[in-house]
Structure 1
Amino acid sequence: MSETRVVVLLGSLRAASLNKRIAETLREQAPAGTIVEIAEGLGDLPFYNEEIDTDVDVPAAAARLRTQVAGADRVLAVTPEYNGTMPAVLNNAIDWLSRPYGANALRGKPFAALGATPTRFGGKWSHEDARRSATVAGAHVIADIAISESTVDRGDILADHEFVGRLLGALDTLVSHRQETAPAA
């Protein structure tokens, strides 16, 4: 049985972030054959600038992220929502992963976005924006995965076994996704 590697792009830099805890829960409870890695150092990425992204000189944090994602089988953004969109740290990571154009680390990778936030819509817009940006970068976004959970008046949602079950179900959907290939002409 082969293993499936899923790299998580975490949209929050806070050490005790709920979305970090969601990513850790997925890592700890991933089923056999699934390895969940949380990409480290997204806060160390400089803002994307084509002038510092050259053939001879790529910032070390960007090179590490590109290598990690290129070696993954799947990519999952776990993110809150800031001001009605995805956090800058996630947008910046996708920007770095979208280059070099046409041959980037996201190209063709199954991708999904989910998370929780203490707003009425639970991060829906952030997740939609992450999916749209990943699509433009060439990822294959899995539409069936849509967990945008509001934590308003819910307490610790990771103590809710049904919610954790939905998270694990989303991970399973991402891992078990098989891309359709066009028949040869």
Structure 2
Amino acid sequence: MSDIKILGISGSLRAESHNTLLLRAARKFAPGGIDIEIYDGLREIPPYDMDQDNPDDRPAVVADLRRRITEADGLLIATPEFNYSIPGVLKNAIDWVSTDWTKTEGLPLLRKPTAIMGAAPTHFGSVRAQLALRQVFVWTHTDVVGKPEVIAFRSHERFDDAGNLIDEATIGMLRDLLDALAGKIDGK
């Protein structure tokens, strides 16, 4: 497997959210040849404004996210579930990176290999949020990994007090998801 660069995005703004911890675990347990960079600028992205959504007026933080997505071989998104869907901050970021009104830049999400996972303290986990995110990615023509699905339900039981993922089943599913994402990137 050649070196693969993955950009990880947590849909949660909480520093120690279980979704951010899940991304850190993905980085820790990633198979050799996979490098995961965790994006930490979600909080700075302003509300989507079509009047600013062009190369000359776009906020610098948005231009940076677009560049990072374009340069990455794939995306790994960890989403919590709010009101049966994805958090507004995550949807907002996707809105900013899903356009090319000038037809000069390209679309960062177009056919981008992407894996989705999520953690939540409830018994149902992030199932509905992941479904909602998959629906958004239909419109953007993002190449989403279908299976395996990583849904860390009752997530507070899967991490120790130091924030380490200790649940072997979740670790195994996480490794399988990263293998599937690497396969999609390598065209397998």
Q: TM-score, normalised by structure 1?
A: 0.90
Aligned mates of 1:155, 1:3 — CA distance in 2: 29
Moved more, 15-24 or 146-155: 146-155
8 Å Cα contact 2:149/2:173 also seen in 1: no
Alpha carbons 1:76, 1:113 under 8 Å: kept: yes
Q: Which residue of 2 aligns with 1:172?
A: 179
The corresponding residue for 1:53 is: 53
Q: Distance in 1 between matches of 2:40 and 2:55?
A: 23
The 5-angstrom pairing of residues 1-185 of structure 1 reads 2-100=2-100, 103-151=106-154, 154=157, 156=159, 158-177=165-184, 178-179=186-187
- Structure 1 residues 52 and 156: CA distance shift in structure 2, 3 A: same
Deviation of residue 16 (structure 1)?
0.9
User: 1:113 and 1:37 mapped to 2: Cα distance?
Assistant: 15
Alignment-mate amino acid for residue 154 of structure 1: E
Deviations 1:97-150 (A, max 9, x none): 101157211111111211110122110011111111122112111211311221
State the Cα RMSD in Å: 1.9
Runs of 4+ in 1 over 6 A off after TM superposition: none
Aligned counterparts of 1:98 and 1:152: Cα–Cα separation in 2:
30
- The amino acid of 1:105's aligned partner reads P
Q: How many residues align?
A: 180
Identity rate, percent: 34
Q: Distance in 2 between matches of 1:174 and 1:148?
A: 16
- Which residue identity is paired with 2:18? L
Q: Secondary structure at the match of 1:85?
A: coil
- Would the aligned equivalents of 1:45 and 1:61 in 2 still touch at CA under 8 Å? yes
CA contact (8 A) 2:120 2:126 kept: yes
> Separation in 1 of the partners of 2:91 and 2:156?
28
Q: Say if 1:94 and 1:134, in contact at 8 Å, map to a contact too.
A: no
Flag structure 2 segments of 5+ consecutive residues without an equivalent. Answer: none
> SS at 2:95's partner residue?
helix
TM (normalized to structure 2)? 0.88
Distance in 2, Cα, partners of 1:179 & 1:161: 28
For 1:117 and 1:32, the matched residues in 2 are separated by 28
